[in-house]
Amino acid sequence: MMHPMRILLAIVALAASAGCAAQRERPTAVRRAPEAGERFFAGLRQITFGGQNAEAYFSHDGRRLILQRTENDSSGCDQEYLVNVDGSGLRRISNGAGRNTCGYFYDGDRRVLYSSTFAHDRACPPRPDYSHGYVWALFDYDIYTSAPDGSDLRRLTSTPGYDAESVLSPDGRKIAFTSLRDGDLDIYTMNTDGTDVRRLTTTVGYDGGPFFSPDGEWIGFATEDHLMKVPAAGGPAVQVCVTSGSPLGSWGADGTNVFSVSTARAAYRVPASGGEPVLVLGPVHEVVVRLKRHVSGEAQARGDGEGLGEPGCGEVRRGDGATTPTCRRPAQIVPAGPAPAAS
């Protein structure tokens, strides 16, 4: 999964499309009134209609979004699309094969990043089991770059397993991403041409959803129940706050992290230096979601540990077929402190 206004996009730019008929000629954006009691958001506009739409991020000039979309609610596979912010010009840019996710603009909007499974299998991977709640499947993704029209496709990663959730550093030189290449989900960086891959986190369990600080000195990321940050140049991870589930965050220019938690159906803000989260949106209703992690469509571990011998532990099956133990354990943290001075 890259993060200018991540939470705003997830909640506002891609307003829920249930009940809207899919149309080949997409209408322009439709204004939506905020829910009663809304204190933080105004000027809401719905820009997608029909299908399943998610993971949208702005272009540098603010005129377009890149998003993943499944045209048919009951069948089909996620592909990468571009759309203008007024809702016009929706068009697919991925090649139509495999499953695609985590798009991002870079190089002055001359190129885009996204992850796809098509090199491993052009067919759509099997849908994961949603019977116990929301699932993010760890398919055999690799990271690609192309021109915004889908041409000049280049592959940046080729290791077995999950390579996705890629984001660009503010100076445009580095990509941070989540990978299973060393047997556990951790945060990595690489150059925009795929060279100089470096691992930044080593704690057992999920480390993912990276996002850069505005000065590029830090990378925020999520564990199963913490919002964390790690120096982009390497070093010990620092706790920002404890969360009720795995958070999805962004880093504002005012030094505030905004994040959402699927288990709470809510969004929060917290100082990037650490502190207590403040509710800014939701919850609409209280929902407890049991998170599962899947690899190639198979359930391997549940966040609550149900059905597993040790609470929060299980196995992750890598792309090469081998399995690696993974457990939900407290992150190894140091006290929150100030960010390093910008150079």
Q: What's the pLDDT tens digit per position in 51-83?
A: 899 989 999 999 999 999 998 766 689 999 999
* CB neighbourhood size of 23 (10 A): 10
Domain spans of the chain, in order of start = 6-314
CB atoms within 10 A of CB 259: 27
Angstrom distance (rounded) from CA 305 to CA 286: 21
pLDDT of residue 14: 44
**CA angle 98–298–77, rounded 5-degree value:** 25
98-155 per-position pLDDT tens digit? 999 999 999 999 999 999 999 999 999 988 888 877 778 899 999 999 999 999 999 9
Q: What is the dihedral of CA 199, 125, 328, 301, to 10 degrees?
A: -150
Task: Write out the two tokens for 214.
Answer: 């505005």
Return the closest-CA partner of residue 139 out of 149, 128, 152, 147: 128
Residues with Cβ within 8 Å of 111's Cβ and at least 6 positions away in sequence, in order, are: 105, 145, 146, 147, 148
Average pLDDT of the residues of the chain: 78
What percent of the chain stands above pLDDT 90? 59
Judge contact between 79 and 94, C-beta under 8 A: yes
> How many whole angstroms from its chain centre is CA 174?
17
What are the helix (H) ranges across 50-172? Answer: none
Phi and psi (nearest 5°) for 328? -90, 105
The pLDDT of residue 27: 56
pTM over 0.85: no
Measured between alpha carbons, how far is 8 from 3 in angstroms, rounded to an integer?
10
Q: Dihedral angle at the C-alpha atoms of 274, 246, 225, 140, nearest 10 degrees?
A: -120
User: Residue 46 has what pLDDT?
Assistant: 93
Model pLDDT for residues 281-316, shown as the tens digit of each residue:
775 433 222 222 222 222 222 222 222 223 333 333
CATH 3.40.50.300 holds for 6-314: no
